């Protein structure tokens, strides 16, 4: 293992500054030296170049170090001290020292802007976390007094408790992420909402009702209910199998009231404030009125205290079915949907009639599915069912209101490479391809390659794998940028693969050690987001035959990659060939032993 020159340099730097009576931010200097060694791969501070200064200030530091705008003068001052120390001690020539100083000064303003931007993003992210914690505790964010009281109580908690609560929230927030979807235009969604049978029925009910008297429970009288059903064509209950929906008009009535399309107060009905929006030619106004109506119908929240009815039960659980359809890449057959629904019902409810209820629930499900098709929310697709564009938009709005992160394909087109790579982790293959195409179309090839290479230098295996995959779709005009990145140890193998694929004269085949490192890096990246068994299965798709694989596993433990032991343990537990699995377990033991020996030497 190479000597850790950071410690020696930091000690000499402190002594040098002390002898000259110069102020030195020791912690800041050590952070910069650590970045030069661990992230930029320098074997000593004397290897720092003007290009290295630019990378340090504009790429490496902003990506890896949490700093505020107030820290910028201190960081630049520490870097100036390091450069002056290198020149004064003869580690670099006076000319190089002057060039380094000039580069620090030249990049100072851009560095300041970058840190300010990152600081703003981090503050915004922190504010979002704090806001999420408050919402979870039921604190209204528009109540300044309640917010201030919550913040005082939170800051009074022990540090480990604050950390635990924040970590818990972030884990929960990660779970509240759904795959990206293609979203139709507002005009197309509004047009579909206008043509929906749901809109037709609600408008028909509101217009028929007008201003009239109601019962003491704010319901239409029996005579009016029959007349309204006849006017809307709902006089014959809808049926499927043994189930009939005799309460369709009542369901529409209460939804119209909850969505404020109809106002029911003091025994009288009048047109509600949302009626104008539902009749509006303005797309945004229409959708703003239509969404609460949809929510009232698919998230009814029935109270089962007076008994369990299969139709009400299914209507109460259809939100989960809609979310399932939202998350699926392909249409889902009704039998699969109803099977999952039945499993949930059996687990969640105390069924008094467990023998007949499954059949009734199945019939009620098909009845409700037909209703959603009639409303334009769900549509047949082959043998399965899928959400319509209106359904996708509406379900996404409900998810957003519940705190979910619900990306849309295309929204990363203007993002930085680091944001693109982070976002792609949630994308399905087809959507990811379209997102990448959109991103590349908005970025110059050379700039795109440089930004992706920066992600590969500073990110973990998962980010590096994704960035390398995107880089392979950048055109040959970026060859000079990729060639310049070959010296970085984390990038060199991937750069060689890219140059070789692009037919560049500097392209080369990977050395055996590099091939092993890339294999480990790839599997380590998969292990970040997949279960070990799934990661191994994916890794073996392009793996060599079993005999070669066993030989490769025998060599893997020597690979200089921090994730090699985890990769070998996954192979040992899940490789289908027993001999290879056994070899992987043995190699994992050797890798762990090597890690422990290295840590003791340090």
- Which of these, 528, 522, 529, lies nearest to 561 by C-alpha position? 522
DSSP secondary structure string for all residues of 248-285:
HHHHHHHHHHHTTSEEEETTEEEE-TTHHHHT-S-HHH
Summary mean pLDDT of the chain: 88
Contacts of 447 (CB under 8 A, 6+ apart): none
Residue 596's pLDDT is: 62
pLDDT tens for 334-380 read: 999 999 998 888 887 776 666 788 888 999 999 999 999 999 999 99
The C-alpha atoms of residue 123 and residue 125 are separated, in whole angstroms, by 5
- Which of these, 36, 35, 37, 15, lies nearest to 26 by C-alpha position? 15
Tokens of 423: 């976002």
Q: Are strands 384-387 and 378-381 parallel, antiparallel or unpaired?
A: antiparallel
Please classify residue 210 by burial: count the beta carbons closer than 10 Å to its beta carbon, then call 0-12 exposed, 13-18 middle and 19+ buried: exposed
- Which of these, 576, 574, 572, 575, lies nearest to 588 by C-alpha position? 572
Contacts of 479 (CB under 8 A, 6+ apart): 499, 502, 504
Residue 599's pLDDT is: 44
DSSP state of 103: H
To the question of pTM greater than 0.75 for the whole model, the response is no
Are 178 and 275 a contacting pair, CB within 8 Å? no
Contacts of 117 (CB under 8 A, 6+ apart): none
In this prediction, residue 174 has a pLDDT band, given cuts at 50, 70 and 90, of low
- 546: phi then psi, degrees, rounded to nearest 5: -55, -45
The C-alpha atoms of residue 536 and residue 14 are separated, in whole angstroms, by 49
- 380: phi then psi, degrees, rounded to nearest 5: -65, 145
Angle of helix 389-401 versus helix 310-327 axis, rounded to 10? 100
Are 79 and 32 a contacting pair, CB within 8 Å? yes
- Residue identified by tokens 């840590």 is 599
Q: How many CB atoms lie within 10 A of CB 576?
A: 10
* Three-class secondary structure of residue 248 per DSSP: helix
Tokens of 335: 């039998």
pLDDT tens for 270-282 read: 999 999 999 999 9
Contacts 24+ apart (CB under 8 A), 424-427: 424/466, 424/470, 425/462, 425/466, 425/529, 426/177, 426/179, 426/180, 427/179, 427/180
DSSP state of 316: H
pLDDT tens for 82-138 read: 999 999 999 999 999 999 999 999 999 988 988 887 777 667 667 778 887 887 788
pLDDT tens for 462-483 read: 999 999 999 999 999 999 999 9
CA distances from 56 to 41, 230, 450 (A): 12, 75, 14
Contacts of 586 (CB under 8 A, 6+ apart): none
Contacts of 540 (CB under 8 A, 6+ apart): 549, 575, 576
CA distances from 263 to 34, 247, 272, 562 (A): 67, 20, 5, 65
DSSP state of 378: E
Provide the percentage of residues in the chain whose pLDDT is more than 90.
Answer: 56
């Amino acid at each position: 293992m190479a000597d850790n020159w950071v410690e020696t340099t930091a000690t000499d730097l402190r002594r040098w500054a002390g002898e000259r009576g110069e102020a030195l931010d020791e912690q800041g200097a050590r952070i910069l030296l650590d970045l030069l060694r661990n992230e930029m791969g320098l074997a000593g501070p004397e290897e720092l170049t003007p290009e290295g200064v630019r990378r340090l200030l504009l790429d490496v530091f902003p990506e890896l170090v949490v700093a505020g705008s107030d820290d910028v003068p201190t960081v630049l001052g520490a870097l100036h001290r390091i450069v002056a120390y290198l020149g004064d001690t003869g580690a670099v020539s006076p000319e190089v020292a002057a060039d380094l100083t000039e580069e620090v000064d030249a990049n100072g303003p851009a560095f300041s802007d970058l840190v300010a931007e990152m600081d703003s993003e981090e503050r915004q992210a922190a504010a979002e976390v704090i806001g999420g914690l408050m919402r979870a505790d039921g604190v209204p964010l528009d109540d300044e007094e309640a917010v201030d009281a919550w913040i005082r109580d939170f800051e009074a908690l022990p540090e480990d408790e604050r950390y635990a609560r924040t970590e818990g929230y972030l884990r929960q927030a990660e779970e509240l992420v759904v795959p990206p979807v293609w979203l139709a235009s507002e005009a197309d969604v509004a047009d579909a909402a206008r043509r929906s049978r749901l809109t037709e029925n609600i408008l028909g009910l509101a217009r028929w009702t007008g201003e009239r008297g109601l019962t003491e429970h704010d319901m239409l009288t029996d005579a009016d209910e029959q007349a309204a059903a006849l006017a809307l064509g709902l006089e014959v209950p809808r049926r499927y199998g043994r189930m009939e929906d005799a309460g369709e008009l009542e369901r529409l009535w209460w939804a119209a009231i909850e969505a404020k399309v109809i106002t029911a107060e003091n025994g009288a009905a009048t047109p509600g404030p949302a009626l104008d929006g539902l009749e509006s030619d303005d797309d945004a106004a229409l959708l703003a009125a239509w969404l609460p109506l949809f929510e009232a119908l698919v998230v009814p929240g029935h109270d089962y205290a007076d008994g369990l009815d299969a139709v009400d039960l299914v209507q109460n659980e259809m939100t989960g079915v809609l979310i399932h359809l939202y998350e699926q890449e392909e249409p889902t057959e009704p039998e699969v949907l109803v099977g999952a629904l039945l499993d949930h019902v059996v687990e969640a409810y105390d069924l008094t009639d467990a023998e007949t209820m499954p059949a009734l629930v199945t019939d009620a499900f098909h009845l409700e599915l037909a209703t959603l098709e009639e409303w334009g929310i769900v549509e047949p697709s082959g043998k399965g069912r899928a959400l319509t564009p209106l359904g996708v938009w509406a379900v996404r709005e409900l998810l957003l209101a519940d705190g979910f992160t619900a990306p849309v394909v295309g929204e990363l087109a203007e993002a930085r490479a680091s944001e693109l790579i982070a976002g792609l982790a949630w994308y399905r293959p087809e959507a990811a391809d379209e997102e990448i195409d959109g991103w590349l179309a908005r970025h110059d090839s050379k700039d795109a390659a440089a930004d992706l290479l920066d992600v590969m230098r500073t990110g973990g295996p998962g980010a590096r794998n994704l960035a390398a995959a995107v880089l392979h779709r950048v055109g040959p005009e970026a060859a000079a940028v990729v060639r310049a990145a070959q010296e970085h140890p984390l990038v060199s193998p991937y750069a060689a693969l890219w140059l070789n694929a692009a037919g560049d004269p500097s392209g080369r085949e990977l050395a055996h050690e590099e091939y092993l490192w890339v294999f480990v890096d790839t599997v380590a990246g998969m292990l970040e987001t997949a279960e070990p068994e799934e990661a191994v299965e994916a890794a073996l798709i392009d793996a060599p035959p079993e005999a070669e694989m066993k030989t490769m596993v025998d060599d893997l433990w020597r690979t200089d990659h921090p994730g090699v032991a985890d990769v070998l343990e996954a192979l040992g537990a899940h490789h289908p060939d027993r001999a290879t699995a056994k070899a992987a377990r043995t190699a994992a033991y050797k890798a762990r032993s090597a890690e422990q020996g290295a840590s003791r030497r340090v």
